[in-house]
Amino acid sequence: MSESRIRVIIADDHAVVRQGIRHVLEEVPGLDVVAEAGQGDEAIRLVEEHVPDLLLLDISMPHKTGLDVTKELRAGGSEVGILVLSMHDNPEYVLEAVRSGADGYVLKDVSPSELREAVQTVHEGREYFTDRVTHQLSVALREELERERRQGRLDQLTGREREVLVRVANGRTNREIAEEFGISPRTVETHRERVMAKLRIRTVAGLTRFVVENGLGEAETS
């Protein structure tokens, strides 16, 4: 067999889906589907056995998910190209697939021609994401960046500033907070000003929203 041929393993828990994918891919000149897997652990075994150029992988499979398979293969040093083919366009799935080491992510409603293009692109060492997936990945990355920014600002607060933050968000007055901690209302106001500056929030409503979004609630008041 020529070394230039593309050797592919298809992993999906539905035999009919695997058959359809095989039919689409075998129209690519020089491509051979060398094995099929219906379970995640089977996919890993077949990759180790056949050492293919590319693994076309579903996310939802028994025993090990596609994400588990990807992580395990990458942890073991496998350099096989991994193209996720999934019905899920949830941003979290897409982001986790990329973090796990997938080289591409396409949805199951793509056209046969786009699927063949995706396979060839990944085989050439480049990433491939359908337009909708690219959008979802962008959304997921923006959300992740915002969470990291919020966490970074939260980490800047001292323990007392966190305590004041939660109490202000819960509607407590400076005098009430001062009486609880045995400090002056002016000191509470100073803590409050520092919290707003560090979090870049200028209203009590904004502080309340920050507390809720970060799951602080009453847990910080003990």
CA–CA separation, 104 vs 81, rounded Å? 9
* Assigned domain for 148 exists: no
CA distances from 130 to 77, 104, 139 (A): 27, 9, 14
pLDDT in tens, 118-150: 999 999 888 898 887 777 777 777 677 567 777
pLDDT in tens, 18-70: 999 999 999 888 999 999 999 999 999 999 999 999 999 999 999 899 999 99
Phi-psi region of 182 (alpha: psi -120 to 50; beta: other; left: phi over 0): left
CA distances from 89 to 69, 109, 127, 139, 211 (A): 19, 11, 17, 11, 30
* Assigned domain for 142 exists: no
What range defines the domain where residue 73 resides?
6-130
* Assigned domain for 146 exists: no
Query: Quick one: 105 and 195 in the same domain?
Result: no
Query: Quick one: 123 and 195 in the same domain?
Result: no
Q: Indicate the number of domains in the chain.
A: 2
Query: Quick one: 123 and 164 in the same domain?
Result: no
